Chains A and B, each alone.
Chain A
Amino acid sequence: MTNLSVKHLLGIKDLTADDIQLIFQTADHFKEVINRPIKKVPSLRDITIANIFFENSTRTKLSFELAEKRLSADVVNFSSSNSSVKKGETLLDTVNNILSMKVDMVVMRHSSAGAAHFLSRHIEANIVNAGDGTHEHPTQALLDTYSIREQIQDLKGKKVAIIGDILHSRVALSNIYALKKLGAEVLVCGPATLLPKYISELGVAVSWDVKEALEWCDVANILRIQLERQQLKYFPSLREYSLYYGVNKKLLDSIGKEIIVMHPGPINRGVEISSDVADSKQSIILNQVENGVAIRMAVLYLLAQKRQN
């Protein structure tokens, strides 16, 4: 297989396992490229990409921009932390204005679930979802699973625990879809109020006990507490959360085996993960960041290829 089955990357849910493997294989190649002295290839030199971020982002935006520049694409950036609607312009108007400047691909982050799907129905460009509300963050899940694959080769039958605020996490949902497609077993863990009531219907196990989750898994993906996305009160205090759901060295040592620790960032040190875990040799947090560029290069390259076909 040399082509993706999709025209846009809206979510992992739409991808096949073959699509994911193709992205991984392409990323392997680009990872080698970005470690060369000359880190750039001319693959997308006739492509213009707009990075449209309606929500704050540091690493995802930087990672996409680097990926685009390494592929020699022309890049324009638009950021607005305020909702465009509040300014009186609709999302569609904003994007159409940008597209009328002849843009081929749009990388968009938005606070509304489904925003990328909505755009894909109404505009011509290829869309890459860089996070839509509490729905999906497909490139994050791809780089997460790619990073696990680097450590343990085949994910089939491996056990991955996703720990933290599952309810507000697009990373969790995309990871669940990706891990299941790759044959891994998934468990989600957090306070019951931060776990969607029907999450087990997606084929994942559920635990309210961090130690139990850590003892069960081969890999623990620890998520950030999304205080900015919580419209209501879900737990009493950060202090209590870190005491009962935070992962620290003492807890990790107590489970009697060495597991891989991941975090999509940015880290709330001392809340969901302690510094001595984040900075330990078990942690692959910085590998995730490095792999992010290769994965995004692969996604953009494959979508551009699909476009040309």
Chain B
Amino acid sequence: MRTYIKAVKIINPASTWHNQTIDMLLDEGQIIDVNPSGKVDADLIIEAKQLYASPSWVDMRVFSGEPGEEYREDFESLAKVLEAGGFGAALLMPNTNPTIQNKADIKTILSHNKSHVCQFLPSAAITINCDGENLNEMLDVFQAGAQAFTDGAQPLWNSDILVKSLQYLQKFDGLLINFPQDHKLALFGQMNEGKTSTGLGLKGIPHLAEEIVIQRDLELLQYAGGKLHFSCISSAKSVQMIKDAKAKGLRVTCDVNIHHLILDDEYLESFDTNYKVLPPLRTQKDIKALIDGVNEGVIDAIVSAHQPYDQDHKKMEFDLAEFGIMGAQIVLPLYHKFLSDQIDLETFLACIESNPRKILKMKQSKIEKGVAPDFTLFSLDEKWVFNAENNLSKSDNSPFLNTDFSAKVLAVFNNRTQYLDSKFTHS
């Protein structure tokens, strides 16, 4: 299919077209022309106000329901969510049933990729069933294609296991991802510990539960060597500690859940379980430090931490409801509505594109004539409402359902195939 994209501004520092507004012609799996002259014949013309393109995005933290809990999210629905969210790749956490931890599991996930725009990158458990105690066969799953090693939603609480994993993974320069939370300090906790939790009578999870693990892990990283990535940091002090560690030359990176850049713990005043998430939503002071962390390059990536749960896991008493917010479909709209005056577009895109690619050792994509198209096309002036009809997830645990947005992903080109917004497929 011959596709003509008109007046699109390229955000891709590695491209010769960076920051320029161009016309692009795609055909037969290639960008065949840039700024073509004369009349252009095309099967599809894509035109939109404030149209941008950047190499396709990468979400570093996504939870699938499949295998085991397909009613929450299966591979098909997850792929649709991610594609509509602009993602050409996503790192899947291993916390499924069964846990993603052997060659067959990895191959099953990878086999899904053949026909899809969004490529699932499997991460494999560090410990068997993410129990935190028994090392998984990491060399074997690496050979099968595991992109990173993590116990996902489970923090690695055992210092000895963390040291050994960091050492073991160095054979192939493997990436270890830890979700930093001290189990005992967070035990029975429901939300951030502070004035709001006190007023609600809910047991709090102190900032300390995260900070103490980051402090410990950085010491262990210095001792063991290797590469460590912290997932979903939420506290101002964590940003500072990681900044200091980077300055010392440690190979440490980190990401933040986009919701933690926008929402604070006061949203829990009404006991709405859609705001119940781990780490818990913190305070305005933390939000400011996290945004500064993104702008200063301390925080490398922004993730959706897409964690889908249906009503049966959320519409209930607060302490019984599951932790998690889904959100991979609305990362750009959230950024545009709530963060675009504090984080510039290029920085935001680096956090969902070039930085994750670097951390996960993926190839860096370029938008150039003659290469296979691998980019996300989005408009920053496209009004829409995220609602039950256009939510592509099987779940609906988002506090942003029925929110109006004015930014939208319009297409993703990758893997010789494409996702197109319904306005192009219906016309």
Contacts and interface: CB of A to CB of B under 8 A. Distances in A.
B104 interface: no
Given A135-B200, A173-B199, A198-B194, 8 more contacts: A110-B317, A113-B318, A118-B318, A132-B201, A134-B203, A198-B198, A202-B198, A232-B187
Contacts of B201: 113, 132-136, 170, 173
Contacts of B197: 196, 198
Nearest to B203: A134
Interface in B192-242: 193-195, 197-204, 206
A113 B188 contact: no
Interface in A127-141: 132-136
A166 to B, nearest CB: 10
27 contacts: A85-B316, A90-B316, A91-B317, A92-B316, A112-B319, A112-B320, A113-B190, A113-B200, A113-B271, A113-B318, A114-B317, A118-B271, A118-B316, A118-B318, A122-B315, A133-B319, A196-B197, A197-B193, A197-B198, A197-B206, A198-B198, A198-B204, A201-B198, A202-B198, A231-B187, A231-B188, A232-B187
Contacts of A117: 270-271
B198 A114 contact: no
Given A198-B194, A231-B188, A114 B199 contact: no
A112 B198 contact: no
A85 B188 CA distance: 18
Contacts of B198: 196-199, 201-202
B211 to A, nearest CB: 15
Contacts of A90: 315-316
A113 B320 CA distance: 10
Interface in A90-144: 90-92, 110, 112-115, 117-118, 122, 132-136
A280 to B, nearest CB: 31
Contacts of B200: 113-114, 135
A198 B317 contact: no
Contacts, number: 74
Interface of A: 13, 85, 90-92, 110, 112-115, 117-118, 122, 132-136, 170, 173, 196-199, 201-202, 231-232
Contacts of B188: 231-232
DSSP majority for the B interface?
A: loop
Range for the number of chain B residues in contact with chain A: 20 to 34
B202 A135 contact: yes
Nearest to A110: B317
Nearest to A83: B320
A248 B96 CA distance: 56
Nearest to A13: B199
B310 to A, nearest CB: 13
B315 A92 contact: yes
Q: Which of A133, A199, A231 has the most chain B CB atoms closer than 10 A to its own CB? A: A133
B317 A115 contact: yes
A244 B206 CA distance: 28
Q: Which of B187, B193, B198, B317 has the most CB of A within 10 A?
A: B317
Contacts of A199: 198
A197 B199 CA distance: 12
A200 to B, nearest CB: 9
A112 B318 contact: yes
A122 B318 CA distance: 14
Contacts of B187: 231-232
Which of A197, A198, A202 lies at the interface centre, i.e. has the most chain B CB atoms within 10 A of its CB?
A: A198
A110 B319 CA distance: 12
Contact of B193 (A13, A85, A198, A202): A198
A121 to B, nearest CB: 8
A114 B316 contact: no
Interface string B309-327: 0000001111110000000
B317 to A, nearest CB: 4
Contacts of B319: 112-114, 133
Nearest to A177: B199
A198 B194 CA distance: 6
Contacts of A198: 193-195, 197-198, 204
Given A197-B193, A198-B193, A232-B187, A112 B199 contact: no
Contacts of B194: 198, 201
B270 to A, nearest CB: 6
A122 B199 CA distance: 23
Nearest to B188: A231
Nearest to A54: B317
Nearest to B199: A202
Contacts of B317: 85, 91, 110, 112, 114-115, 118
Contacts of A113: 190, 200-202, 271, 318-319
